[in-house]
Amino acid sequence: MIEQLPTLPAGVLGFRMRDLVTAQDYESVMVPDIEAAFALNPKLRLVVHVGDDFVGFAPGAMWDDVKLGFRHISGWERTALVTDVGWIRVMSSMFGFAMPTQFKLFTNAEFEEAVRWVASP
C-alpha cells in the first residue's frame, strides 16, 4: 500500500509505503500525484518513507518505480528515503549515487530531519 504523506511543506511531495506494495499502488497513488506535481513544477522534491510495517514489493512494483523515475529523469531535485528496512538501506547505499537527484538516506527516527533537508533551499 502507498499513501500520500499529509502536512509536508509547500513544494514537497511525500509517500509512505507499508504492507505489500503493488504495481497498482504505483499506478493509482504515486503516478497521478507525481504527474500532477510535475505539471505545476519542473523540479520535484520527494520524501519516501518505508516503515517497519512494510513487507515487500509485489511482482511488477519495482519495475513501475524504475519507469516512474526515468520518465522524469531530469526533474528530481532532491529525494529523501526514510527507512530502517535493512535490504532497502543497503540497496540505496549501493545505488543512491546513480539516482538523478540529490539523494539522502535517513532512519525512521530521522523522519523530521529528512523533511527539513528536502524542503531546505
Instruction: Report the predicted TM-score, pTM, of the whole model to 2 decimal places.
Output: 0.88
Q: Which CATH architecture has domain 2-119?
A: 2-Layer Sandwich (3.30)
Report the pLDDT value the prediction gives residue 102, as an integer from 0 to 100. 87
Q: Is the pLDDT of residue 94 over 60?
A: yes
DSSP E strand stretches across the chain:
2-4, 12-21, 44-57, 76-83, 102-106
Q: Is the pLDDT of residue 7 over 60?
A: yes
Task: With CA atoms as reference, report the closest residue to 115 among 45, 36, 43.
Answer: 45
Q: For the residues 96-100, what does the mean pLDDT come to? A: 67
Could you tell me the three cell numbers for 49? 518513507
Q: Write the CA distances from 98 to 10, 54, 59, 92, 93, integer angstroms.
A: 27, 24, 23, 10, 10
Report the pLDDT value the prediction gives residue 68, as an integer from 0 to 100. 60
Least confident residue range of 9-23, 32-46, 65-79, 85-99: 65-79
Mapped onto helix, strand or coil, the DSSP state of residue 75 is coil
Report the pLDDT value the prediction gives residue 21, as an integer from 0 to 100. 93
pLDDT band at 74 (very low <50, low <70, confident <90, very high): low
C-alpha span between 106 and 18 (Å, rounded): 17
**How many Cβ atoms are within 10 Å of 41's Cβ, its own excluded?**
12
Work out the mean pLDDT of the chain and round it to a whole number: 86
Q: Is the pLDDT of residue 40 over 60?
A: yes
Q: Which of 16 and 73 is assigned the larger pLDDT?
A: 16
